[in-house]
Structure 1
């Protein structure tokens, strides 16, 4: 009596297995189709790389103590340009840092924003160092640069963004922007503020 029962179970299991395989094949085909559609759209549009510049920069309230503790305020004008005529960009998270001799001296953020097609957006970055401890080497180099009348900084931008084409939005991408060397030339001083002359710096962009 046990043998016919096993045959019935086998007969029931076979259609069930075929149904599972059919569902798996359909799902796989849909995934491939969606992926190919996205790839075709992306290749057709051929998005251009985003462009970044630092157009202005200055230092205020500069003070470096004998204990290598730095206090200063920084102003940088960051220009972000989206050259694409069919692609807009959603910036969901943007972190900014200022570096000297590969040491971070200040950090900040830019609020999330949407950049339309063929748009230029300007950001006035007001950052500061409060009792930031520098290494002996960085402190020594900063004193030398300060005495020479110019200081070289770097501005680093890290962003989490998405691209939008029509009603479609891409997955999240990570963007790294490195702006260097940013030469802040120190000239006259008035009430603790160093006035500067500045040359625009084009940034390296990696997505």
Structure 2
């Protein structure tokens, strides 16, 4: 005799909790199971110790440079370096003769140099001075090194000479024309290698350029016209 409690094959199974069975064609969702219980994580390639050292070295250098620049900035804020002042006190011209594109002349100049800094002295290394007619170079001389203390001023002398020196014809004609008019104008240039000092500390050296434009002298006596003339400092 067949057991009536067993379900008949081919008929839907009745849910014992009273709920209706799922509709035909319903698909159950199952959690995705990784077929690989031990996933593979790629090992990063080994780093080159030389490149690592180089990166660290460059980083350290950058930090040192930043710190050094910050220190220099603080020093500049505290000391406030100012450029020196230059002025022409006197300029004389003698033995001037210009003919056949040959010039003979001697200039003597007194240049006053002032240090306006309260805390910094200034040392001058190689100092070169030149004389020009307008923008035409005529002669050059060298001035010995010197040091200026804080809040001090002093005069340095410079002598320039031309002995049977060739010049362009146009320049010679302009100088002779000025001489006939009674007044000649020359420009002086000073180039110096300078450094600021504070006690044992010395700043980096820098190149200084000074221009004294259109300094007039009389054609008769060769003396400078007017009083001291201030120069431009760059």
Q: TM-score, normalised by structure 2?
A: 0.74
| 2:165 equivalent among 121, 132, 143 | 132
Deviations 1:17-73 (A, max 9, x none): 5444434323321221111101111122222231100010111111112x1211011
Give, in angstroms, the shift of residue 128 of structure 1: 0.5
* Structure 1 Cα separation of the partners of residues 58 and 135 of structure 2: 51
* Higher strand content, 1 or 2: 1
Aligned to 1:120: 153
Aligned to 2:29: none
- 3-state DSSP class of the match of 1:22? helix
- 3-state DSSP class of the match of 2:117? coil
Structure 1 regions of 5+ residues with no counterpart?
Answer: 1-6, 189-193
Structure 2 regions of 5+ residues with no counterpart?
Answer: 1-42
* Structure 2 Cα separation of the partners of residues 196 and 84 of structure 1: 30
Deviations 1:166-197 (A, max 9, x none): 32212121111000110111335xxxxx4555
Aligned to 2:181: 148
- 3-state DSSP class of the match of 2:118? coil
Aligned to 1:199: 227
Give, in angstroms, the shift of residue 89 of structure 1: 1.2
| 2:62 equivalent among 28, 37, 46 | 28
- Give the 4+ runs in structure 1 shifted more than 4 A: 16-20, 194-198
* Structure 2 Cα separation of the partners of residues 200 and 116 of structure 1: 22
Q: CA RMSD in A?
A: 2.1
* Higher helix content, 1 or 2: 1
